Amino acid sequence: MLWNGDSKFWGRHSPVLFPIVGRLKDNETYIENDLYKMSQHGFARDMFFDTISSAEDSITYKLTSNQDSKKLYPYNFELLIKYTLNDTTLEIEWTVINTDNKNIYFSIGAHPAFNLNFNECNSISDYFIEFKHRNKVNKISLDGPYSSKVSTIENIANVTLSNDLFINDALIYTNIDELSLKSHSSDEHVTVKFKDFPLVGIWTPYYKDTQTTAPFICIEPWYGLADNINSDKIFKNKEFINILSPREQFCTTYSIEI
C-alpha cells in the first residue's frame, strides 16, 4: 500500500516533516534574531535516528539536536517517533521534548504516500477521498509554495480525484479528523485518522507537460503550515506554529488503517 519511492516520480515513502512543514519564504527565517536557511519540510527527514527500543509489534526512534541541526535550527530538542502495529492498523506517535533553557518553536507533519494501482481499467478518477471533519472546514489555497487565500466550506463528504486538482500543488484543509482513500473498483482502501490535528494536506505531483499526476496520493496530517505569501520571516510568527516551554513535551498520534 505504501509508495515504493520510485525517484522517477518521488524518491520518498513517508518522511517526517520537522521543524517546518512546507516552505519558508525564500527558504529562510529569523529565529532568536538570527537568519537561518532551511529547505522545504525541514531537516529531520534527511537525518539518522537512533533506535532506542523495539519489540515484536513496535519500534521507537530518536533524533537529538546536534551540530548539524543547529546550523539550520538553533534549539536543543529530542524528537521521538514510535511505530506500533496492531492488526491492520499502524499507529505513529510523535514526541517533541524541549531540552533547551528557553521556549522553542516548531512545526511537525506526516507525509505518507499510498499507491494508486493504475492499470487498463482505472485511472486517478477511479479514486476518491472520504472526509470526516469537525466544525466548519477551511480550505487554504497556495500561491506558488506559500499559503494565501482561506475559504470556508460548510460541509465536505468526499472528493473525486483528478489530475487538475493538483495543478496548484497540495489541497489543504483545517478541522479534518479522518480521510479514507478509496476506489470505485476495489474494496481495498486506506484510512488515515488524525483527530485534533489542525491541518491536513493531500498531494501528488502534477506534470504540466503531460497534464498528468503520479501513481500515488499523500495524506499528510500537519501541525504546521508553509509560510504565508506575506510572511515577515519571523519563525515564531508563523501560522500554526507550536511552542514548548523548557522541559515540556508535545505528544500526538495518528494512525493508518488498511
Q: Are 87 and 77 in contact (CB under 8 A)?
A: no
Q: What's the pLDDT tens digit per position in 189-216?
A: 999 999 999 999 999 999 999 999 999 9
Q: What's the pLDDT tens digit per position in 14-30?
A: 999 999 999 999 999 99
Distance between CA 28 and CA 6 in Å, rounded?
29
Q: Provide the mean pLDDT of the chain.
A: 95
Neighbours of 133 (CB within 10 A): 18
Q: Are 185 and 122 in contact (CB under 8 A)?
A: yes
pLDDT number for residue 67: 96
pLDDT number for residue 32: 94
What is the CB-side half-sphere exposure of residue 76 using CA atoms within 13 A? 8
- In order, the DSSP letters of 20-73 are -SS--GGGEEEETTEEEE--TT-SGGGSPPEEEEEETTEEEEEEE--HHHHTT-
Q: What's the pLDDT tens digit per position in 164-188?
A: 999 999 999 999 999 999 998 888 8
pLDDT number for residue 119: 60
Sequence-distant (6+) residues with CB within 8 A of 69 are 43, 47
pLDDT number for residue 155: 82
What's the whole-model pTM score? 0.95
pLDDT beyond 70 at 120: no
The three state secondary structure string of 66-133 is: CHHHHCCCCCCEEEEEEEEEECCEEEEEEEEEECCCCCEEECEEECCEEECCCECCECHHHEEEEEEE
Mean pLDDT computed over 90-118: 96
Q: Provide, rounded to the nearest whole percent, the portion of the chain with pLDDT above 70.
A: 98
pLDDT beyond 60 at 5: yes
Confidence of residue 123 (pLDDT cuts 50, 70, 90): confident
pLDDT beyond 90 at 121: no
